[in-house]
Amino acid sequence: MASTQAAAATEQAPTKNPTLLAWVAKMAAMTQPDRIVWCDGSEAEKQRLTEQAVKDGTLIPLNPKTRPGCYLHRSNPNDVARVEHLTFICTPNKTDAGPTNNWMEPEAAYTKLSQLFEGCMKGRTMYVVPYAMGPLGGASTKIGVELTDSDYVVLNMRIMTRMGKAALDMLGDSDDFNRGLHSTGDVNPDRRYICHFPQDNTIWSFGSGYGGNVLLGKKCLALRIGSYLGREEGWLAEHMLILGVTSPKGETTYIAAAFPSACGKTNFAMMIPPKEYAGWKIETVGDDIAWMRPGPDGRLYAINPEAGYFGVVPGTNYKTNPNAMETISKDTLFTNVALTPDGDVWWEGKDGEVPEELIDWQGKPWKKGSTEKAAHPNSRFTAPMSNNPVLSAKANDPMGVPISAIIFGGRRSNTVPLVLQAFNWTHGVFLGATMGSETTAAATGKVGVVRRDPMAMLPFCGYHMGDYLQHWLDMQKSIPQLPKIFQVNWFRQDKNGKFIWPGFGDNMRVLEWIVNRVQGRVPTQETLLGWVPRQDQGLNLNGLDLPAEAIQEATSIKEDEWKSELKSQEVFFEQLGTKAPEALMLQRKLLIARLDG
């Protein structure tokens, strides 16, 4: 049986790549699917798979008048998010994975998962999904092939990547491709593993159907494997949005920004400036991931390796993110949201009145006033980036865009000011390394506990975090025209616990100051922590209904808070042990000395 399957894979393949054919045959012999289908990315294939997914109950069609081309998917209630405790970095030495990752020895991982994969696709179809991460033909673009038994995965990968024949053509006869194997298995949490093998450029995912665990081009390849490849090859794979901001004079500045979850990342990438900024334009290059490498002119160039958006739905509305709402108005897959009686979707925080009755994310009747959430808090949309009304014309540029500024931002109720600029690259890396967000009562039972999330990469770095930070420092030698680095915090609170800064579109005021600093147009005020806006030539506050004392509070730097902050950072640096970069430890000592001076 197994040899027949392997032969079938070879005979039906639209490629003669010997390495690819041998690998697919080997995986087919292990998993023993009934059929092997090579995906070509065509419209006909999409229609066929969609009809099949509707027939088998994987997808529910939505109202074609209100949501043309849109479908709802409900995942298993035990399978609704990334599983960090079941995500492993499999390197020969535990030290290489580092203290912030779960580790498994490669041979042990292959043995354990091979037992799970053995015969797991009997009665199922194995889809061979070739895909490109990045614009086709680009020097930064990487090719992957995912083998999966899930039509939901195929349809999502079609949105999120450049999938099909074009990717296979770009690969040609090369053996340089990421090998991804996925099966939903029996969706048993006790038999669920997401294993990354950096040295083998391989990902094995078993027992999940949730996007973050099974769309192997996304966090798995683009960040965990990507970060490892970046260090080996001299570039950066980062959990960052990329946007272009164009002034009324036609000057465009490109910026990359890292924000942990619940910090307004997608909103920032698709921001609509306030009316006081008539003539300014924000365009999205990417909303989640940036691959950045030194260009021939000495600048740092970034591409968005993805072709779509896999975003959190709850809280998305026409006030918080009108461009996202337009993006998900058609040809979108929704996962774990509620269903309205007229065939539309609903989630907490959506515009308009709460419906009287719904079918909740688990397929159960739901009534207004219920204490249960109608949509899962981590419910998602998968939408093509081509739907985005403010998509940058450079989003498909193989060269990418030149990055002039890098922003690090977290959710902090105090301590971190609205915006500051790092003194230099090393100081900026220190700011990124020590960034964090405060937990909420709903998540932990405690408010205000700072969770460190260096560069927003803690769950996604594919090797030792100390080596990762050292790689950031080392990149300075390869980039003659370094981007300037900034830190922002939209979430500073007043004494009553209310946010001081209005956020959303008004973040344009901070962005304009950053652009002006990049272009050398405005002076600054030097503080112990970095450069901040001057009161006389700083932020544009025209039309902003905020008293002067509120602005002062949002931008203030309080030395007692920063002494506590430095003490809090100790735990993170101690975790890195001897791999904590010496240059960052020196930055820390200098800041302590300035505060004690």
- Give me the CATH code for the 2-57+81-233 domain, please: 3.40.449.10
User: Nearest CA to 516 among 536, 539, 483, 535?
Assistant: 539
* Type of residue numbered 7: A
The C-alpha atoms of residue 222 and residue 142 are separated, in whole angstroms, by 9
Cβ atoms < 10 Å from Cβ of 368: 11
Structure tokens at 478: 């390869």
Structure tokens at 330: 């058609």
Query: Is the CB of residue 261 less than 8 Å from the CB of residue 288?
Result: no
User: Nearest CA to 360 among 338, 334, 333, 336?
Assistant: 338
Residues 6+ apart with CB under 8 A from 200: 106, 179
User: Catalytic residues, which ones?
Assistant: 263
Distances (CA, A) of 457 to 201, 250, 260, 435, 521: 19, 34, 8, 10, 32
The C-alpha atoms of residue 561 and residue 422 are separated, in whole angstroms, by 19
As annotated, the residues of the chain forming the CATH 3.40.449.10 domain(s) are 2-57+81-233
Q: Which CATH class is domain 238-307+392-596?
A: alpha beta
Residue with tokens 């209630």: 77
As annotated, the residues of the chain forming the CATH 3.90.228.20 domain(s) are 238-307+392-596
The C-alpha atoms of residue 88 and residue 144 are separated, in whole angstroms, by 19
Structure tokens at 169: 């053509």
∠ CA 443-570-579, nearest 5°, is 105
- End-to-end Cα spacing for the chain: 76
DSSP 8-state assignment for residue 193? E
Residue with tokens 């091979």: 114
pLDDT, position 263: 86
What residues pair up with 450 in beta bridges, in sequence order? Answer: 438
User: Nearest CA to 240 among 427, 452, 457, 425?
Assistant: 457
The C-alpha atoms of residue 161 and residue 309 are separated, in whole angstroms, by 10
The C-alpha atoms of residue 420 and residue 534 are separated, in whole angstroms, by 11
- Along the 597 residues of the chain, how does pLDDT read in single tens digits? 344 444 444 447 999 999 999 999 999 999 999 999 999 999 999 999 999 999 999 999 999 999 999 999 999 999 999 999 999 999 999 999 999 999 999 999 999 999 999 999 999 999 999 999 999 999 999 999 999 999 999 999 999 999 999 999 999 999 999 999 999 999 999 999 999 999 999 999 999 999 999 999 999 999 999 999 999 999 999 999 999 999 999 999 999 999 988 788 999 999 999 999 999 999 999 999 999 999 999 999 999 999 999 999 999 999 999 999 999 999 999 999 999 999 999 999 999 999 999 999 999 999 999 999 999 999 999 999 999 999 999 999 999 999 999 999 999 999 999 999 999 999 999 999 999 888 754 443 465 688 999 999 999 999 999 999 999 999 999 999 999 999 999 999 999 999 999 999 999 999 999 999 999 999 999 999 999 999 888 899 999 989 989 999 999 999 999 999 999 999 999 999 999 999 999 999 999 999 987
pLDDT, position 4: 42
Residue/partner pairs of 59-65 with CB below 8 Å, 24 or more apart: 59/152, 59/155, 59/333, 60/339, 61/343, 62/334, 62/343, 62/344, 62/345, 63/342, 63/343, 63/344
Interstrand relation of 290-294 and 401-409 (parallel, antiparallel or unpaired) = unpaired
Interstrand relation of 35-38 and 531-533 (parallel, antiparallel or unpaired) = unpaired
pLDDT, position 163: 98
Torsion, Cα of 285, 59, 35, 124 (10° steps): 120
Helices (H) and strands (E) in the chain, counts: 18, 31
Query: Is the CB of residue 426 less than 8 Å from the CB of residue 583?
Result: yes
User: Nearest CA to 556 among 511, 507, 500?
Assistant: 500
Cβ atoms < 10 Å from Cβ of 590: 14
As annotated, the residues of the chain forming the CATH 2.170.8.10 domain(s) are 309-386
pLDDT, position 438: 86
The C-alpha atoms of residue 309 and residue 508 are separated, in whole angstroms, by 22
Q: Which CATH class is domain 309-386?
A: mainly beta
* Type of residue numbered 204: W
